[in-house]
Each structure stands twice: as C-alpha cells, then as structure tokens.
Amino acid sequence: MDPLTLFSTAALIFGGIYWFLFLLGSAEQKGKRAVYLSGGSISREKVQDKYRQYWSFFKKPKEIETTENVPHFVDTFYNLVTDIYEWGWGQSFHFSPSIPGKSHRDATRIHEQMAVDLIKVGPGSRILDAGCGVGGPMRAIAAHSGANVVGLTINEYQVNRAKMHNKNAKLDNLCDVVCGDFLKMPFDEESFDGAYSIEATCHAPKLEDVYSEIFRVLKPGAMYVSYEWVTTELYSSENSEHVDIIHGIERGDALPGLRSFKDISEIARKVGFEVVMEKDLAKPPAKPWWLRLKMGRIAYWRNHILVSVLAFLGIAPKGVVDVHEMLFKTADYLTRGGETGIFTPMHMILCRKPLNSS
C-alpha cells in the first residue's frame, strides 16, 4: 500500500472513530454522547457495586414492596440508566404508537401533545408532570400548550439534566423541575390547574398513594391524565411464559409489581376522582409500539461494542456495560409483552377532580 493510500485509510478510520465517539449522540437532540456515559449521581468507581445492589433487591421481593424502600430503589435505577436512555433513546423515556409516515420522534411528540390536549389547559395554566425524567414530554407539552409545567422527579441527576435541556430549548421560562417523591409531593393543596403522568406511576408500590397526592394538589374541576403500564385482559398468571415476561419487565424497569388494567379506574375512583375516559392506546388501529425496540437490535450490538470499549479504556465506568446489557434483555421482554398482547405501556385514564371536593 502506497503512503498516500495508507494515510487516507488511517484518516478515514480515525474520522469514523471520532464521529462514533464524539458526534453520535442520542436519538433526539444529541443531549448525551457516548464518551460522557456515567452512573448519574453515583461516583464512577461505585457504579458496578450499585448495579449489583439494584439486582439484590429482587432477591428480597418483600423489601421491594415496602414503600419506604421503593424511592431509593427507583433513584438507584435512574442513576444507572438515565445516560444510556438519553444517548440511545432520546429525552422522552416512554413509548408511543407507531404512525405510518412519521418518524419515532414525531410519533412521540404527538403522543405527548395528546396528553395535554386531554386535560384542556393553555397559556397561563400551571400543570404538573408527575415523574418527568429529563423533561422531554415537559418541553413538548409546554411548547404545544403554552402552559407552565412543573416537573417532579425523584432523581437529582435528572433534575440537573432537565434544567439544562430546558435552558438549551429556551423553554426555561415555562418549565421548572423539582426533586421530590411523588408519594409525598412538595406542593401545596389545590395548586395546579392540571396534571399528567407518562409511564411513571408504575414505579409506585401502591397506585392509590400517588393518585391521592395528585388529587390533593389539583384544583377542584382540574383534570389528570396518566399513561399506565399494566397487564391486559390477555395475561394469565397460570401461564408460565406470561409470568416470565412480566417478571422480566419488572426486573429491568425498577417496578415493584405491575398492576392489571382492571385496577386503574377502581383506584382512581377510590381516591375521589371522576373517571372521564379509559382506553388502551396501544390497541388497533394503533400500530405496534414495540417496533422501535425490534428495529433497534442492530443499533444495540453496535452500541454495546462501543460501551465495552469505552469501559475497557476507562472512559466509561465498568458497570455501564452491565446496565446496557440489562436494558437490552429488558427490551426483549417488553417486545414479547407487546407481541403477545399481555402488556401495554399506554393504558390511558383521564380523570377529573370534582368541583365539590374542597
């Protein structure tokens, strides 16, 4: 090989590596790049230990179900996965129905905007995002509605990421983020004109606890919509394959236990809400929400090689490789849950706080 060809080949390889490491960002707005993967608020030398600690929860299922242990359990999970989610998935940590002719990003935005349209708020309203993550839905909803959105997340690292994204998107005048537990919200009674949760309340050990808090902080007449993770009418606890799929989803997503679709409206009414509408948004004519997971399998192997190399070089914490592998396995369980129809991540319930509830 002559020197010029050798130089050109080396330059091409170096350029490819540089692009792969430093330019290839998240699926949305390159909010996180591969070389900056971390364990959130966990110091890099403790990431692997925290990952092992996370899995130890599942050896003691009764501890997971104990309310006082769940916030720490969920906080640890989001420290471990937030960077990987944002890098590989985008700033909206949820699913949406696939829409022919629309990109994943566009389908996600439509799904988010529908939530705020359902609760009928607009400019000047103050609304709550209960379980906001790094704020992808918050920003879409604020831009679409003009409402002031207050996001609540238990994870301090996500608070910092969300505030940074809000500022970069020039939406920090409409979006605020608070660190707190949605089982014990740091807000006054009747202080919000509306509220929504997008695939977040599944982390609550008892749904009535978080619904009660949302009920408390809403003004009379205000509306609340939630997209819930639930088992469907096709799920059978007597079917070992079904049980294995649901347990796989729970283990890989920090869930103290998935609820049945039948429980949601009953719990909403129990805490005082009027149920306006209830619908599984994943059912036909909606297109499969899990297609994005299946299409991402090739990207996973590419990304896993990259994460492994970065960990080997000491650029990424060692435990990040384990976390990435866990999320890939969880994606398979989620896909199986969707294909069998026993699981949906978008069981929508729309509620109203009665006018006479004060």
Question: Containing H/E element for 167?
Answer: helix 156-168
What is the pLDDT confidence band of residue 75, given thresholds at 50, 70 and 90?
A: very high
Alpha helix (H) ranges present in 280-318?
291-295, 297-312
Q: Which domains does the chain have, with CATH numbers?
A: 104-286+339-352 (3.40.50.150)
Extract the runs of DSSP E, i.e. beta strands, from 232-327: 259-260, 274-280
* pLDDT > 90? residue 268: yes
Question: Containing H/E element for 348?
Answer: strand 343-352
pLDDT the model gives residue 185: 97
pLDDT the model gives residue 20: 46
* pLDDT > 90? residue 56: no
pLDDT the model gives residue 1: 57
* pLDDT > 80? residue 67: no
**236-to-55, 114, 256, 332, 342 alpha-carbon distances in Å:** 26, 31, 19, 19, 8
pLDDT the model gives residue 64: 55
Mean pLDDT of 265-288: 96
What is the pLDDT confidence band of residue 73, given thresholds at 50, 70 and 90?
A: confident
- Determine the Cα–Cα distance for residues 208 and 338; give it in Å rounded to an integer: 26
What is the pLDDT confidence band of residue 57, given thresholds at 50, 70 and 90?
A: confident
- Determine the Cα–Cα distance for residues 240 and 140; give it in Å rounded to an integer: 40
Pick 148 or 308 by higher pLDDT.
148
CB 231 within 8 A of CB 261: yes
> Please, what is the average pLDDT of the chain?
89
What is the pLDDT confidence band of residue 209, given thresholds at 50, 70 and 90?
A: very high
Tokens describing residue 114:
């529908």
pLDDT the model gives residue 204: 94
Phi and psi at residue 212, to the nearest 5°: -65, -40
What is the pLDDT confidence band of residue 136, given thresholds at 50, 70 and 90?
A: very high
| pLDDT tens by residue, 11-35 | 444 444 444 444 444 444 455 777 7
pLDDT the model gives residue 296: 74
Q: Per the omega criterion (within 30 degrees of 0), is the bond before 186 cis?
A: no
Pairing of the two strands 274-280 and 192-198: unpaired
- Determine the Cα–Cα distance for residues 292 and 96; give it in Å rounded to an integer: 9
| pLDDT tens by residue, 78-124 | 999 999 999 988 999 999 998 888 888 999 999 999 999 999 999 99
* pLDDT > 80? residue 7: no
CA atoms within 13 A on the CB side of 318: 6
